[in-house]
Each structure stands twice: as C-alpha cells, then as structure tokens.
Amino acid sequence: MAKAIASKTKNGSTSSKKDTSLKPIKDFLGSRDLPAPVDRLEDVRRRARRFREKFLSGPQVIYYKSFDLVRVPYPTKYALLNAFSLPTPFLHIINRLFVIQYKTSEGVKTLLFSPSDVDANSETPFFKRLSQSFGPFQDLGRRIMAPTLNTVEECLKKVGISPEQVDYISYDHLHTQDLRKWLGANGQPGYFPNAKLLVMREEWNSIQGLLPPQSDWYCPNGSGGISMDRIVLLDSDTELGGGLALIRTPGHTYGNHSLVANTPEGIFVSSENGVSADSYNPLNSRIPGVRKYAKNSGMEVILNGNTLELGLDQYISMVLEKEIAGVSKRNPEFFNVMPSSEMSGFWLFPGTSPTFSFGQLEFGTPVLK
C-alpha cells in the first residue's frame, strides 16, 4: 500500500501526508511464495488472468497518449538476451512518455509515466561513455545515434496540460532518470509544482546505495536534494484510480513495476522488462535468431538483461505482464504489452527491426483546466 512518509531527508525536510486516492491491490499477495519456480510461475499466471478479467470489467482511463521522446542506441546482447543471431552490436530503443488521466474519489488526476529529462539523463555512466566514444564528433554522433524527438515540456503543450495539473510522475524503474528538474531539489522549485513521484520502496532504497553492476545504469545523484514530501513509497501493487494501476514486476530491478491501463483498445501494460512485442511472444518473431532461440530453449519470453538483478523473477514478471495485457487487437500474434522503451528499426543497425511495433497511441480526450 501507499504509506505516509515521515522520515527525514538529507536536507532535513519531513512529511506525514497520506495519498488517500491510492488503494492497495491484493490479488497477487503471496503469489511468489511457493518453493518451486515453475509453481510460482503458474500461480502468477492464474492470478494474472483473473485480475485481467476483473480489471477489464471496471472503468477505463479518461485519456491515454504516448509520445516518442528520444532514440537511444542499446546493446543487442542486453535487449534480446542470448537470442539475437546477427553480429550487429546495437539496436535502437525509443524512450516514450505516457500522459494519462483518470477518475479518482478526489477528482480527475494526471499521471506522467516515464517523463525523461533527456539532457540530464545523458550523464548516466553507460551512455556517457558511449557518447564519449565518438571523440571530437560527439555532437554529430548524438544527433545521428540518439536524436531527441520531443521534450516532456513540448508534449504537454501539444496536449494542453499545464505543469500545475500534473499530480504524479512514475517510472517502471529509475535507470537513467534524473528527477530533480521535475520535482525540485535543494530548495529550488521543480517544473511540476504539485507532482509527487510514485515509486516502489525497493527501487527507492536501491538508489540510496548502488553496487557497481547497478550504478552504471543510474544517473549520478539523480534524486539528490529532493524533499521526501514529493515522494510516495509504495509497498504493494496499487490502484491509482479508475482503470489505472501500478503492478509490482520485480526482476529487471528489485523495485520494478508496470503501468496497467484499461483503454478502449483493451488493457495496455508498460515496462522495460522486455523491449519489444517480440520479447513477449518470441515464437512469432521474425527478428534474426529470436524464434529459433525460443524454440530450442523453451523460453516463453526474452528478457531485457542489462542488469539481471532478479532473473527468474523477471521471467515470471514478463509472463504476468502479457497475461494481464491479453492479445493485441492490432496484431493477434502479439500481446498488448507496450514497452516504455520500445525497440525500433534503424538503417545503421541491420536486422534489428521488430516484427510488430505499437508506435504512438492516443485514446480519449484530455481534461484541461
């Protein structure tokens, strides 16, 4: 559940305010307690199917729109763990922003899922080294290899939503994210004056003391100086309001969670446990090597494996995601799991086009103030 936070931060601020519109979801309690991994998997699968039916019968979100923010080169050995058969070292993933509005007992609320500060996030050690590898041609390399397509500010202006209207921001996990611009830090105001971060307690705890395998993927000091009254720590799966939930999906990181939204086109689930629709049904993939690997290994899903903090849990989490999402109406060979950073074809990276891609989606009409 979402707990009131009453702990001191580095700058001495405290908070004891509770977010009453957030409600714990109990459908998956104890689902990973069985001793055998296969039993845990099947228990999660059964619960996910039941949760799907219940969630589908409930309300839909008012508004749902995704925007492309930035293309980022990403190693194929991580994105399609062990499955890709060509020597192409990189593929492109498109980092996306999701703007969602939904009804609560406190009125209509606005969530931004995965609002990336593209410039600040470039300080993430892995991507900073990659940029520096271009030497004196860093600026040119970045424009070609990692072009910015939109900024968060531009996306909100296109929709007509003001910064003051944003109630929450959240990320499936905090790899590469610098939060300070949005929430404010060290006494400086943030771009979103009323927004709070929704984050699993395990993820927040992780960034307080990273080990080297983790720290390569987190933006240095990305949460430094942020007042804890801007942070809501979640201890369970959580219903945010009508048609919207955050479901714990540990694996890619300890505190990973997935966005679950009920829309006119069914349930969409978003995280970065997998990087493409192919990742969730590899037997239907035409990406070189993926189908053969899945057939030979019996792998039901293909993990995004740059950190593998909890590999077996990530596998189970991806099955949970696809069972909640169900089959896509756009392409029944794949599931309605739309990665928060989705694999995209690029002429410099042969063989890396996904079999099916969701692109940018929009449902409903935004509520403006």
What strands lie across the sheet with 266-270, from one edge to the other?
23-24, 238-241, 244-248, 257-263, 266-270
pLDDT bucket at 12, cuts 50 / 70 / 90: very low
- The position carrying tokens 């960034």 is 207
pLDDT bucket at 144, cuts 50 / 70 / 90: low
Q: Which two tokens stand for residue 180?
A: 């300070």
What pLDDT score was predicted for residue 136? 59
CA–CA separation, 38 vs 35, rounded Å?
Answer: 9
Element (H, E) at 52: helix 37-56
Q: Is residue 335 part of a domain?
A: yes
What pLDDT score was predicted for residue 122? 84
Q: Is residue 363 part of a domain?
A: no
Q: Is residue 14 part of a domain?
A: no
CA–CA separation, 40 vs 317, rounded Å?
Answer: 11
Tell me what the mean pLDDT of segment 234-256 comes to: 96
Tell me what the mean pLDDT of segment 176-187 comes to: 95
**In sequence order, which residues have a C-beta less than 8 Å from that of residue 87 and are 6 or more positions away?**
none
Q: Which of 269, 346, 214 is nearest to 55 (CA)?
A: 269
Dihedral, CA of residue 286, residue 290, residue 291 and residue 292, to nearest 10: 130
CA 119 to chain CA centroid, Å, is 19
Tell me what the mean pLDDT of segment 156-170 comes to: 97
By residue range, what is the domain housing residue 272?
23-351
Q: What percent of the chain has pLDDT over 70?
A: 92
pTM: 0.92
Q: Is residue 356 part of a domain?
A: no
Q: What's 132's domain CATH number?
A: 3.60.15.10
CA–CA separation, 52 vs 45, rounded Å?
Answer: 11
Q: Is residue 5 part of a domain?
A: no
Dihedral, CA of residue 219, residue 220, residue 222 and residue 225, to nearest 10: 180
pLDDT at 369 over 90: no
pLDDT in tens, 29-60: 999 999 999 999 999 999 999 999 999 999 99
Q: Is residue 366 part of a domain?
A: no
Q: Is residue 324 part of a domain?
A: yes
Q: Domains in the chain: how many in total?
A: 1
Query: How much is the mean pLDDT over the chain?
Result: 91
CA–CA separation, 332 vs 174, rounded Å?
Answer: 31
Q: Is residue 11 part of a domain?
A: no
